[in-house]
Amino acid sequence: MYYSETIKMPRMKPDGTRDYSYDSHYEASSAQRKNRSERVLARRELAKEGLVHKGDGKDVDHVKPLSKGGSNSRSNLRAISAHANRSKGNRS
């Protein structure tokens, strides 16, 4: 594996300068950043309890989905396989 494959390199123009116009399409909105930080905190909480580990194929699932009024409280979180979580969608 080459060094450039392990680190995400910025998109470059043919003249060797960085293509900043490409980056602007992928900047997160403030709502996306807030949701991402809440997901990270939920996973960190379950990791402290030893229920999930990096690369274990598990996702943190909300028993009652956030889209249906659920919260990020510990009583609404559980660790399940990534496949099961993504196939269930926003169902309880």
Query: What is the C-alpha separation between 30 and 45, in angstroms, rounded?
Result: 23
pLDDT of residue 80: 92
Structure tokens at 52: 């999930």
Domain boundaries, the chain: 51-92
Residue 61 has a CB neighbour count (10 Å cut-off) of 19
Residue 3 has pLDDT above 60, yes or no: no
C-alpha–C-alpha distance, residues 79 and 23, integer Å: 33
Determine phi and psi for 34, rounding to 5 degrees: -65, -45
pTM score > 0.85 for this model?
Answer: no
For the four alpha carbons of 5, 2, 57 and 42, in that order, the dihedral sign comes to negative
pLDDT tier for residue 1 given thresholds of 50, 70 and 90 = very low
Q: Please give the pLDDT value at position 6.
A: 54
Q: What's the pLDDT tens digit per position in 19-70?
A: 766 555 556 677 777 878 888 888 999 999 999 998 899 989 999 988 888 8
SS3 47: helix
